[in-house]
Amino acid sequence: MSDATQQAMPPKAKQGLFQQLELDVRLLGMIGAFALLCIGFSIFTDGRFISPRNLFNLTIQTVSVAIMATGMVFVIVTRNIDLSVGGLLAVCSALMAMTQTELMPHVLGLGFNHPMTWAIAIVVGLAAGTLIGGVQGWLVGYQGIPAFIVTLGGFLIWRNLGWLATDGQTIAPLDGNFLNLGGVNGTMGEAWSWTIGIVAAAVALWAIWSARRARIRHGFPAKPIWAEVTVMALVAGSILGFVWVLNSYHIPSRRLQRMFEARGEVMPEGLEVGYGLPISVLILIAVAIVMTLIARRTRLGRYIFATGGNPDAAELSGINTRLLTVKVFAIMGFLCGLSAVVASARLASHTNDIGTLDELRVIAAAVIGGTALSGGAGTIYGAILGALVMQSLQSGMAMVGVDAPLQNVVVGSVLVAAVWIDIQYRKRLGTS
């Protein structure tokens, strides 16, 4: 793989199984950690932890932090940090909630649940996030204030500006269409989920195969065909397995009945309907694809990694690293706005404490996912998996009945341990 952002380049000398498969060791490590958590918690919960219902909930709880974690990868890769993402999420959520309950129905006189409300609210949230992020990036890039300070200030400023704007009130109910973006209220159903899953698997297989063909066409070394096929099978299997799990969580029959009644129909006897893919998960997948594309296939991404690796070299190569900082923070802000959509829709309200401590979760997800705090290294999929591992740990402990203070002790320890493991791993690879 001629992949510049790939850090876990196994030494070519000893060709073990994983080397031949060219699978990222870190990726395997995280999948292993996730599997261990699943097994461990399942034993203590009589299998409830890996019930479709819990896996479904785990998925929709992970989305908001995972979306922001992808942006945090870029921030940390460029040797910066963003401590303001939770506050930014809160102010975006406040502005969107006010758009839905004040601006559209009263100021513009369009009433509640107007068909345009959800879209306008989202535009407001995304624009606010991007703008605030851009301003923070400008302070860091052009004014030279350390990101730590700018976003520590932002940590206090943004949440409390949201508080002032909403007079500290919890805002509910939100627009009906908007709630579809939160998770359980908006899912694709079984048929669509299978369709999306199959198309996604096909596209993934095609992408792997054409990348292989391109390498062969250029005469570069490619991995053995059995290894390629194994990787393809694993990828397709994971995608379809994920859809299968989400489809296996069936809508409770009481709720299903109400849905039929709402449409004035009678529910057939013994009908079972799976939830399928939540729209919020589709949003996360779209974010993951776009961010990965940016990281690996665009100039912007190349410059982000180059700047993280050696800021002076980037500057001397003609890269405008100041503007780059603005862009990176603006992307982070945009993603905070998007997370605010998912988070407030999932909770069906805006509260002042929405997204509290998310800055820690997001940074932890990125770092556990292999983003180096020294800059220059990190992957999008790693951050998403990191978010999933963190969330499983937390909800698993809650299910098992671990006391809240002890939960925090564990999460904190895991963060430190993960960074330590990462440092040891990099030492052994010989990359700093």
The answer to the question of residue 3 lying near another protein (CB under 8 A) is yes
The answer to the question of residue 312 lying near another protein (CB under 8 A) is yes
Supply the minimum distance, in Å, between the C-beta of residue 11 and another protein.
Answer: 9
Whose tokens are 């993280």? That residue is: 308
Gap between the Cα atoms of 306 and 319, Å rounded: 9
User: Which run of H or E residues covers position 55?
Assistant: helix 52-77
The stretches of 116-252 forming alpha helices (DSSP H) are 117-141, 147-165, 176-179, 189-217, 225-248
The residue among 331 and 415 lying less far from another protein, judged by its C-beta, is 331
The structure tokens listed for 399 are 């299910």
Phi, psi of 122 (to 5 degrees): -65, -45
The answer to the question of residue 79 lying near another protein (CB under 8 A) is no
Cβ atoms of residues 380 and 288 within 8 Å: yes
Chosen residue from 15, 413, 424, 431 binding another protein by CB under 8 A = 431
Chosen residue from 215, 223, 250, 322 binding another protein by CB under 8 A = 215
Beta bridge partners of residue 278, listed in sequence order? 187
Segment contacting another protein by CB under 8 A, of 117-125, 234-242, 268-276, 311-319: 311-319
Phi, psi of 140 (to 5 degrees): -75, -50
C-alpha to C-alpha distances, 145 to 78, 158, 360, 363, nearest whole angstrom? 15, 18, 21, 20
The residue among 318 and 405 lying less far from another protein, judged by its C-beta, is 318
The structure tokens listed for 15 are 């060709």
Chosen residue from 114, 250, 302, 322 binding another protein by CB under 8 A = 302
The answer to the question of residue 225 lying near another protein (CB under 8 A) is no
The answer to the question of residue 85 lying near another protein (CB under 8 A) is no
- Among candidates 90, 145, 176, 179, which has minimal Cα distance to 325? 145
Supply the minimum distance, in Å, between the C-beta of residue 28 and another protein.
Answer: 19
The answer to the question of residue 319 lying near another protein (CB under 8 A) is yes
Segment contacting another protein by CB under 8 A, of 3-11, 172-180, 350-358, 409-417: 3-11
Gap between the Cα atoms of 320 and 324, Å rounded: 6
How many C-alpha atoms does 216 have within 13 Å on its Cβ side? 11
The structure tokens listed for 410 are 């564990």
The residue among 150 and 295 lying less far from another protein, judged by its C-beta, is 295
Gap between the Cα atoms of 285 and 384, Å rounded: 10
Chosen residue from 297, 357, 412, 413 binding another protein by CB under 8 A = 297
Burial 364-390 (b: 16+ CB within 10 A, else e): bbbbbbbbbbebbbbbbbbbbbbbbbb
Supply the minimum distance, in Å, between the C-beta of residue 23 and another protein.
Answer: 15
Gap between the Cα atoms of 189 and 181, Å rounded: 14
Supply the minimum distance, in Å, between the C-beta of residue 378 and another protein.
Answer: 10
- Among candidates 60, 136, 141, 120, which has minimal Cα distance to 336? 136
The answer to the question of residue 209 lying near another protein (CB under 8 A) is no
Classify the C-alpha dihedral 26-29-33-38 as positive or negative.
positive
Segment contacting another protein by CB under 8 A, of 196-204, 223-231, 281-289, 297-305: 297-305
Phi, psi of 10 (to 5 degrees): -70, 145
Supply the minimum distance, in Å, between the C-beta of residue 210 and another protein.
Answer: 11
The answer to the question of residue 430 lying near another protein (CB under 8 A) is yes
Cβ atoms of residues 100 and 174 within 8 Å: yes
The answer to the question of residue 427 lying near another protein (CB under 8 A) is no
Segment contacting another protein by CB under 8 A, of 53-61, 231-239, 314-322, 408-416: 314-322
The residue among 46 and 312 lying less far from another protein, judged by its C-beta, is 312
Gap between the Cα atoms of 205 and 186, Å rounded: 28
Supply the minimum distance, in Å, between the C-beta of residue 375 and another protein.
Answer: 8
Per-residue binding string, another protein, 375-404, x by CB under 8 A, is -xx---------------------------
The residue among 37 and 423 lying less far from another protein, judged by its C-beta, is 423
Segment contacting another protein by CB under 8 A, of 115-123, 138-146, 308-316, 397-405: 308-316
Amino acid in the structure at residue 174 = L
How many residues bind another protein (CB under 8 A)? The answer is 37
Segment contacting another protein by CB under 8 A, of 24-32, 131-139, 214-222, 415-423: 214-222
Chosen residue from 137, 182, 309, 333 binding another protein by CB under 8 A = 309
The residue among 270 and 318 lying less far from another protein, judged by its C-beta, is 318
Where along the sequence are the contacts to another protein (CB under 8 A)?
1-4, 7, 9, 214-215, 217-218, 220, 293, 297-299, 301-303, 305-310, 312-319, 376-377, 430-432
